[in-house]
Amino acid sequence: MQPRSRWKAVHGVLLLDKPLGLSSNDALQKARRLFQAAKAGHTGTLDPLATGLLPVCFGEATRFAGLMLDADKEYLAEVRLGIRTATGDAEGEVLQTREVAVDEVALRQALVAHTGDIDQVPPMHSALKKDGKPLYEYARAGQTVERAVRHVRIHAIELQQVALPVFTMRVLCSKGTYIRTLAEDIGEMLGCGAHLTGLRRTRTGPLDLGRAFTLEQIADLDETAREALLLPADVLLQQMPCCRMNDTEAQRLINGQPVSLRDVESDSPLVGGQILRAYAGAVFLGLVEAQGNRLRVKRLMPQDSTPKAQKIPESA
C-alpha cells in the first residue's frame, strides 16, 4: 500500500477489465494504488475465475456505486457438459462424470427453457452471507447450509459456439443471477451435468467492456494520461431520466432548496417519486426526486469533483 500521505482526492469511474485469478477487491486495490486514490469502491463482485468489466469508482463517484448493483448484467460463459464439480466451475473437485448424449437441438431447447423468470438456489461456494458469514466459508469447512431460493430473470441466452461437450453462451440477466448455477441447471436438464469453465462479464447496465482497460494498460501510462481514463460519476446513471435547469435553480438545489418543476426541462414526463439526473448546462449536479410540483435533492455531487474533460455534453 502507498504511504497514507500519498493518497489523494481522485474522482471518477474507471472501467476496469479484471484479470483472471484476482478477486474483485484485489483488482480494486491494485487500481486504487495506480491512481493513489484516497477512496475507492466497485459496483458488483466478480469471482476470481471470472474476467471482464468491473466498474471502479473513485472519490465522490462512490456515492452512486450502489445504484449499479441493481443493473442487468451480460456475460460470455463457456460450459463443459458431462462433468459436475463441487464448486460449479473448473476450480472445484470433480464429483461426477457422465456421458454426453446431447445434440445441438437439445442444447438449444434447454437454453430456451432457462430463459425468462427462473428460480435459483445460490451455490455454497459464493460470497452470499448466512448469519454474517460468507457461504464459501461454510463450504470450505465441509458444511452445507440452507439457502433461500432466488427469483431471477434471464432476459436472453444466445448460443455462440458449439463444440460438444463444450459450448459458449452469451447471457443477459438480472441482478443476483449465478451463471455457475445456470450452467449446472442446464446440464441437469440435459441429463449429463455441467460446470462453468470460463466467464467474462461484458456489460453492466449501460457500461460495456469496449471502453475498459486492463491493469497493465493503466500501469503503462503517466499520471495525466491515467486520470484521462476516468469517466464522470453520472456514467453510472445513464439509464435514468434527465432534467436540466439554469444556474439560479441549480444554486437553489445545491443549497438544499427544492426547485419548481416549471423551472426545469425534462427528457420525459415527470411522475411523483421518480428519480432523475439533474444538470446545469453540461455539469452533473446529482440526483433529484420529483415530489408534487417540485424537485428535491436526493444525492448531490460536489461540483469540484467532476473530471472537467469528461462532462456530459448538452445532448446527453
Tell me which residues are annotated as active site.
Answer: 47
309 class by beta-carbon count within 10 Å (0-12 exposed, 13-18 middle, 19+ buried): exposed
C-alpha pair distances (Å), 204 with each of 70, 75, 78, 145, 212: 10, 9, 19, 30, 12
Helical packing angle, 179-189 and 104-113, nearest 10°: 130
**Separation CA 264–CA 243 (nearest Å):** 6
C-alpha pair distances (Å), 96 with each of 82, 92, 128, 198, 282: 8, 11, 25, 19, 58
128 class by beta-carbon count within 10 Å (0-12 exposed, 13-18 middle, 19+ buried): middle
30 class by beta-carbon count within 10 Å (0-12 exposed, 13-18 middle, 19+ buried): middle
Dihedral sign for Cα 283, 291, 264, 258, please. negative
Classify 203 as helix, strand or coil. strand
Q: Nearest to residue 103, comparing CAs of 79, 81, 136, 70?
A: 81
The residue type of 273 is G
Residues 6+ apart with CB under 8 A from 182: 77, 114, 120, 154, 171, 173
**Separation CA 111–CA 156 (nearest Å):** 9
Q: Nearest to residue 158, comparing CAs of 75, 226, 243?
A: 75
Cell 448546462: give the residue. 281
Cell 410540483: give the residue. 293
